[in-house]
Amino acid sequence: MTQARFQVWRGNSSGGKLVDYSTEISEGMVVLDAIHQIQATQANDLAVRWNCKAGKCGSCSAEINGQPRLMCMTRLNELDLGEPVTVEPMRAFPPVRDLVTDVSWNFRVKKQIKKFKPRPPDAPDGTWRMQQEDVDRVQEYRKCIECFLCQDVCHVLRDHQLHEEFVGPRYLVYTAALEMHPLDTEDRLSELRKAHGIGYCNITKCCTNVCPESIRITDNAIIPLKERVMDDAFDPLVKLIGLMTKKVAGP
Amino acid sequence: MGDYQTHEYDVLVIGAGGAGLRAAIEAAAQGTTVGLVCKSLLGKAHTVMAEGGVAAALANVDDRDNWKVHFTDTLRGGQYLNNWRMAELHAKEAPDRVRELEAWGAMFDRTPDGRILQRNFGGHKYPRLAHVGDRTGLEMIRTLQDHGIHQGIEVHMEVTVTTLLKDGDRIAGAFAYDRERGRFRLFRARAIVLATGGIGRAFRITSNSWEYTGDGQSLAYHAGAALQDMEFVQFHPTGMVWPPSVRGILVTEGVRGEGGVLLNSKGERFMFQDIPENYRAQTADTPEEGWRYTQGDKNARRPPELLTRDHVARCIMREVREGRGSPHGGVFLDIAQIKEKLPKAAEHIKKKLPSMYHQFKQLADIDITTTPMEIGPTTHYVMGGVRVDGDTQMSTVSGLFAAGEVAAGLHGANRLGGNSLSDLLVFGRRAGEYAARFAKDHQPGRINSEEVEAAGREALAPFDRSGGESAYQVQHELQDMMQDLVGIVRVEKEMERAAEGLGALWQRAAKTTVVGNREYNPGWHTALDLKALLTVSEAIVRSALARKESRGGHFRDDFPAKDPAYQTFNCVVEKGLDGGMRLRKEPIPELRPDLKAIVDELK
């Protein structure tokens, strides 16, 4: 058994600091195990979110040695234990307590995105037909576990705090899943361009790099959506019709 | 005290996994106002962990399937202790519930002609599980969540209910605290649906998250409702065993459905050596026939790895006990060997079992496309729970409903894989519908302010004490004790020791103290959870002592055989007038003649 040192951010909305802990580690341990061990033996009130402990629920997001990661999927043997391991809450969201942040903004944003609207069923029994390849394409987006690490790392949100103007990578992936769903008939392009601020993304791929589900957020979700938005907004034919209707309706 | 926020709804749903979400959606669709309370963030509930699929006799892959076959499979798997009305409704309604998810945006894997694909699973005669790779639960909870947020349901995230409030014999509301600030909430409701899931945290080795502390069972019990079948806990045969920190994490049955085999340290497929009589006719004679079954050959019978979970778990225990286990106390689950039979086997495995591949690679440094996994049983599910009416899901307390894992009946003595996701859809919807009806037919109950004050005092008590031990300590000891004395193999003496142990743990729990304040304090939350954990543990121990036979998830080393005399009743526990737990044997109503004919025909 060896000891490892940790510096865990303790505090709340009025401030906080890194606190030193040391705990025994064993083979295969992940950061969340160490946090739980510290919680059970040294700091009973250490606040942390977690559920599945297997990378499936996306609850235990944190910044480990400055990197946005899931605590349950970060093995201690891949970290340099010669130095203390720092564990901090996600910085793009307001702190609640210790490692827990207020992520409620994400849930409000999701509600603003128009929901799935399927075409009429394909068969008399009310069912649809879809091909596996269509499913596979959309499943890449639907793999998302809503850990919000992509939101945490996105500089538009983290540095510029444009939460009111930009929905963030998670909700661009969500919109992509809806827009590319083979049965969906809703149109979300105008909101994407305006209220949801897709133009703010300058495709630095930070979100893609931190995604624990390896969703190619930028290449497969954001860029195709940007293309659709551009086609929609700057389609010359649409523009022409727009101009003509304006003329007719004009004073 | 006296300081709390009040909310009022026609229907309050407690728990936001699949059952709770489905109930809330239905209650809202019936035109009632709905509040939904969950302990975690929305979308993180345990449904997200479900891997293999949702069972429904769609007959897309094998047209011999229909509700009657699903019904008899469910009864056979449950060893005939099931509430047969629930098994009937479940088998009949599951296909519609699955198709409805597609209308809400779910995308299941497809057959070549574009319909929903179905896979094999233990105890299901035909390929029956609609799925999305091995993360069907995520697909389901996200579909329900994303649909539900547009139905006018008010969601209260990270709020824990500690007490149900009654007006005479009927339900009137719930008392809760929010995790963020530790403030109290009073929910007034005409009807309440419990959808709080299971009890896995009563055991040391479990696939369940911190939330699974038996809240709903305990809330119902203390409100005067009956619990039934609590002796039946499902130990899933395949949990991870190594490294220690991941012990208990689930390995989907889908691995075996895709052709994975169980091997002992001698390389023997030991499952072939012990096939129960009632499954012999449907089980493959040779490994070759078993393989053909997994590849969709309709003339082949299922390999013994796909026998019911209770049986497979016990066979694994036997191998380990008799010295033929793997290095870390499990056995081997080998999917890599399909490379001898399939071209591009590695790609196939990654495609069919992506999250298993990921999980082993990342947490155990094992590539399952080349190396066998080490696995062993893990506490996974409780068949028992709140006793409900089969049609309406109402408990024995007026206005209190229960759906999903927290309710008992559908699964009897053992649940078939895939029948949980269908359970929560079918009975989540029914509970929502009947709770809404109840709310329309009844005025709100009166809230007794003394009860509210008492609930507040009880919640704050750990702060008022000093010098006691931490709640984690008590929780860990309870988990060790239940694991060691009331686990997969049970005997009278050990369970009696557990019963005594519980008495001591109740006393220690009453003295735990917490450090810090009410703001997001897991030490405090753990202290409050102990009441529920101890209540359900006591129900398990008492029921297990009363069932002097072995059946389904309940195996007694001192009574290793099934006893027909025990097939006629369910163990039911209730709170007695003296406050102690009382057990009675509730006769199972005779199977309706038309259903009996189906069972006889498909035997």
* Between B252 and B263, the higher pLDDT residue: B263
* Residues 174-193 (A) with a CB less than 8 A from some CB of B: 178, 181, 183-184
Q: CATH 3.90.700.10 in chain B: give the residue spans.
A: 235-379
Looking at residue A249, its pLDDT comes to 43
Write phi, then psi, for B556 (nearest 5 degrees).
Answer: -110, 120
State which H helix or E strand residue B222 sits in. Answer: helix B215-222
pLDDT value at position A139?
A: 95
Domain B461-558 fold is Methane Monooxygenase Hydroxylase; Chain G, domain 1 (1.20.58)
Per-residue pLDDT at A236 exceeds 80: no
Q: Where are the domains of chain A?
A: 2-100, 103-237
* CA neighbor of A49 nearest in space, from B162, B48, B211, B205: B211
Q: Token pair for residue A10?
A: 């303790």
Judge if the upstream peptide bond of residue B243 is cis by omega within 30 degrees of 0. Answer: yes
**Could B470 and A40 be called an inter-chain contact, meaning their C-beta atoms sit closer than 8 Å?**
yes
Mean pLDDT of B273-277: 93
CB-closest option in B48, B139, B472 to A52: B48
Paired residues of B155 in beta bridges:
B36
Q: Does A130 touch chain B (CB under 8 A)?
A: yes
Give the model's confidence band at A250: pLDDT under 50 very low, under 70 low, under 90 confident, else very high.
Answer: very low
- Alpha-helix residue ranges (DSSP H) falling in chain A: 31-41, 104-112, 132-142, 149-153, 155-158, 169-179, 189-193, 206-210, 223-234, 236-249
Same fold, A2-100 and A103-237: no
| CB atoms near residue A250 (< 10 Å) | 6
Lowest mean pLDDT among A94-98, B273-277, B419-423: B273-277
User: Once rounded to an integer, what is the mean pLDDT over residues B64-88?
Assistant: 98
Chain A window 81-110: which residues touch B at a Cβ cutoff of 8 Å?
A: 96-98, 100, 102-104, 107, 110
Contact B97, B234 (CB under 8 A): no
Give the β-pairing of B373-382 and B233-240.
antiparallel
- Considering only CA atoms, which of B223, B197, B193 is closest in space to residue B210? B197
CATH 3.30.70.3150 fits B235-379, yes or no: no
CB B11 within 8 A of CB B194: no
Six-digit token string for B75:
């009864």
Phi and psi at B65, nearest 5°, equal: -80, 145
Instruction: Name the residue facing B472 among A12, A44, A139 (closest C-beta).
Output: A44
- The two most distant CA atoms of chain A are separated, in Å, by 83
Is A4's Cβ below 8 Å from some Cβ in B?
no
- pLDDT value, residue B603: 81
For A130, the closest of B44, B114, B133 (CB atoms) is B114
pLDDT in the model for residue A231: 86
Provide long-range contacts, Cβ within 8 A and 24+ apart, for B60-63: B60/B111, B60/B115, B60/B116, B60/B117, B60/B118, B61/B111, B61/B117, B61/B118, B61/B126, B61/B127, B61/B296, B62/B118, B62/B126, B62/B127, B62/B298
Residue B381 token pair: 């599910």
Top-tier CATH class for A2-100? alpha beta
Q: How confident is the model at residue A247 (pLDDT cuts 50, 70, 90)?
A: very low
- Helices then strands, counting H and E runs in chain A, come out as 10, 7
The two tokens of residue A129 are 């037909």
Cα gap A196→A110, rounded to integer Å: 11
Kindly identify which residue of chain B lies nearest to residue A37, measuring between CA atoms.
B472
Give the mean pLDDT of chain B.
96
**Active-site option among B128, B131, B256, B387:** B256
Out of B42, B107, B522, the one facing A46 most closely (by C-beta) is: B522
Kindly report the average pLDDT of chain A as a whole number: 93
* B108/A contact by beta carbon, under 8 A: yes
CA B41 → CA B6, B8, B128, B217, distances in Å? 21, 21, 31, 21
Bridge partners, B376 (sequence order): B239
Statement: residue B582 has pLDDT above 90: yes
pLDDT at A1 over 90: no
- B107 to A98: CB separation less than 8 angstroms, yes or no: no
- Percentage of chain B beyond pLDDT 90 is 94
CA torsion sign, A145 to A146 to A150 to A153? negative
Burial B394-405 (b: 16+ CB within 10 A, else e): bbbbbbbbbbbb
Of the candidates B411, B412, B407, the one whose C-alpha atom is nearest the C-alpha of residue B431 is: B407
pLDDT digits (tens, 9 = 90+) for A56-83: 999 999 999 999 999 999 999 999 999 9
pLDDT band for position A251 (cuts 50, 70, 90): very low
* B236 classed as catalytic: yes
pLDDT band at residue B51 using 50, 70 and 90 as cut-offs: confident
Catalytic residue selected from B119, B201, B236, B556: B236
| Rounded Cα–Cα distance for residues B264 and B287 (Å) | 15
Domain with CATH 1.20.58.100 in chain B: 461-558
| B256 is known as an active-site residue | yes
Q: Please, which pLDDT band fits residue B263 given cuts at 50, 70 and 90?
A: very high
Mean pLDDT for A110-136 is 96
pLDDT digits (tens, 9 = 90+) for A24-54: 999 899 999 999 999 999 999 999 999 999 9
User: What pLDDT digit, counting tens, does each position of B299-349 carry?
Assistant: 999 999 999 999 999 999 999 999 999 999 999 999 999 999 999 999 999
Nearest-10 Cα torsion for B341, B132, B122, B265: 50
Is the minimum CB–CB distance between B138 and chain A shorter than 8 Å? yes
What burial class does residue B392 get, using C-beta atoms within 10 Å of its C-beta: 0-12 exposed, 13-18 middle, 19+ buried?
middle
Residues 263-292 of B with CB under 8 A from A: none
Instruction: Give the C-alpha separation, B415 to B78, whole Å.
Output: 6
Under the banding of pLDDT at 50, 70 and 90, the label for residue B245 is confident
B236 forms beta bridges with B378
Cβ(B50)–Cβ(B140) under 8 Å?
A: yes
CA distance B364 to A24: 19
Cβ contacts of B48 on chain A, cutoff 8 Å: 51-52, 56-57, 145
Q: What is the average per-residue pLDDT within B210-231? A: 97
Contact B358, B368 (CB under 8 A): no
Using the Cβ of B140 and the Cβ atoms of chain A, whether some distance falls under 8 Å is answered with no
pLDDT score of A239: 65
- pLDDT over 70 for what percent of chain A? 93
Closest CB to A53 among B209, B244, B522: B209
For B286, other C-beta atoms within 10 Å of its C-beta total 12
Cβ-based neighbours of B503, under 8 Å, separated by 6 or more: none
Q: Do B363 and A54 touch (CB under 8 A)?
A: yes
Tell me the mean pLDDT in the region B116-139.
94
Rounded Cα distance between B363 and A44, Å, is 26
CATH fold, domain A103-237, is Fumarate Reductase Iron-sulfur Protein; Chain B, domain 2 (1.10.1060)
Average pLDDT over residues B10-28: 98
